């Protein structure tokens, strides 16, 4: 591990030197690439430099204890020794986590697809609440959310909604949200006061660039039609809505949110690329079954991942056995504690798997 850290430190210093070269600054493509690599290495280099400083502090403290006869100075040396040893243990764990293989999609924007499942109108209402939860979470992280398509049920719920969240590290945080979300509560239409259970499915897909997916437009059938439902003055009066069918896979994307047919087509293509990319990822993950099992659930739509219990005001994530009695806060977008716990559990599982392989 330490040989690798030394190599990364040298690479970081080489990049820093390169970035001061006027010829590199003029080549904006190379400059941006080096800046990204430098930013990726910075947390590792910072932790490793502190680790080396603590190791040196331990050596200095031990030398002082051997040479120093003054009791007060010896006490100071012992305090420094204990403090440095404790910090070294923390840094060793941090460095192991920082050296874990990085998911290449972590920095990508995400396309989120929420569908109402069992429960009829109640499931659709819950789908809207979960949509709003993610939009508010995006706002807390200063990310941008953009609606792509929505199919409403007429009473304020969503049968299906597709939207994009754009921002640094969006996928790294939200990738753990894919799966079945379950709600337990008394619907407003329930006269007997009985608790009903409804479900929705959430799919989190990294936005795919053109270089990620080879999309042959000859494989696509494009239909245009007049938008229906809620819309602005032009949305429902022109043939601006787009239905995109990918013939080889049978995937159908409809988009009618924009007034412009061209913009709707662009949005539909973004969703299609993301879905095709997700299919490739699923294929790769099934081929790497052992690695998949070492992770906290990050993609299986059939997996029941979380329950939102309204009578008890609690949210339970079943993958990591985490229960929080902060339902209102979480539905208001305060997802940090849940997501941070999922990330920590995923890292711990990967470290354990790495140790087993070693």
pLDDT surpasses 50 at 291: no
Look at residue 191 in the predicted model and tell me its pLDDT: 65
CB neighbour class for 114 (10 Å; exposed up to 12, middle 13-18, buried from 19): buried
Of 30, 31, 33, 40, nearest in space to 8 by CA: 40
Tell me the residue ranges of DSSP E strands in 186-266. Answer: 196-206, 220-225, 241-246, 251-255
- Per-residue pLDDT of 222-280, as tens digits, reads 888 776 655 444 444 456 788 888 998 888 888 887 778 888 888 888 888 888 888 88
Cα–chain center distance at 326: 21
The pTM score is 0.74
pLDDT at 215: 83
How many residues comprise the chain?
Answer: 358
Q: What is the CA radius of gyration of the chain?
A: 26
Q: What is the pLDDT of residues 86-133, one digit of tens each?
A: 999 999 988 988 888 888 888 899 999 999 998 888 999 999 999 999
Most confident of 19-23, 263-267, 351-355: 19-23
Percentage of the chain lying above the pLDDT 70 cut: 89
Query: Between these two residues, 300 and 137, which has the higher pLDDT value?
Result: 137
Instruction: Output the pLDDT for position 258.
Output: 75
pLDDT one-digit tens code per residue, 27-79: 988 998 899 889 989 999 999 999 999 999 999 999 999 887 888 889 999 99
Q: Greater confidence, 313 or 295?
A: 313
pLDDT at res. 95: 92
Q: Tens of pLDDT along 208-222?
A: 876 677 788 888 898
- Tell me the pLDDT band of 302, cut-offs 50, 70 and 90: low
CB 113 within 8 A of CB 202: yes
Contacts 24+ apart (CB under 8 A), 49-55: 49/9, 50/87, 50/91, 51/88, 51/91, 51/92, 51/95, 54/84, 54/87, 54/88, 54/91, 55/84, 55/88
Structure tokens at 131: 């949509």
* In the chain, % of residues over pLDDT 90: 47
Mean pLDDT of 159-174: 93
Q: Span 350-355, mean pLDDT? A: 78
Tokens of 300: 């299986």
What's the mean pLDDT when you consider all of the chain? Answer: 86
């Amino acid at each position: 591990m330490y040989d690798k850290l030394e190599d990364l430190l040298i690479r970081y210093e080489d990049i820093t030197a390169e970035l001061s070269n006027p010829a590199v600054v003029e080549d904006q493509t190379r400059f941006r690439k080096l800046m990204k690599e430098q930013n990726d290495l910075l947390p590792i280099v910072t932790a490793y430099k502190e680790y080396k400083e603590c190791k040196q502090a331990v050596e200095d403290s031990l030398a002082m204890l051997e040479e120093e006869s003054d009791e007060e100075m010896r006490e100071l040396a012992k305090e420094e020794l204990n403090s440095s040893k404790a910090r070294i243990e923390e840094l060793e764990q941090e460095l192991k986590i920082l050296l874990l293989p990085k998911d290449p999609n972590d920095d990508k924007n995400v396309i989120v697809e929420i569908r109402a499942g069992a429960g009829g109108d109640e499931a659709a209402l819950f789908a809207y609440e979960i949509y709003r939860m993610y939009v508010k979470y995006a706002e807390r992280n200063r990310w941008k959310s953009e609606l792509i398509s929505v199919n409403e049920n007429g009473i304020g719920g969503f049968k299906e909604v597709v939207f994009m969240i754009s921002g640094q590290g969006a996928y790294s945080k939200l990738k753990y949200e894919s799966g079945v979300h379950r709600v337990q509560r008394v619907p407003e239409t329930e006269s007997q006061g009985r608790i009903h259970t409804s479900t929705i499915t959430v799919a989190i897909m990294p936005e795919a660039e053109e270089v990620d997916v080879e999309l042959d437009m000859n494989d696509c059938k494009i239909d245009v039609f007049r938008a229906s439902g809620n819309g602005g003055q032009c949305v429902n009066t022109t043939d601006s809505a787009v239905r995109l069918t990918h013939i080889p896979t049978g995937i159908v994307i409809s988009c009618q949110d924009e007034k412009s047919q061209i913009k709707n087509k662009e949005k539909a293509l973004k969703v299609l690329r993301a879905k095709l990319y997700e299919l490739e990822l699923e294929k790769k993950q099934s081929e790497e079954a052992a690695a998949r099992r070492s992770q906290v659930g990050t993609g299986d739509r059939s997996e029941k991942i979380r329950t939102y219990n309204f009578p008890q005001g609690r949210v339970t994530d079943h993958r990591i056995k985490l229960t929080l009695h902060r339902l209102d806060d979480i539905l208001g977008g305060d997802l940090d504690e849940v997501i941070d716990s999922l990330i920590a559990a995923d890292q711990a599982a990967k470290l354990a798997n790495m140790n087993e392989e070693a």
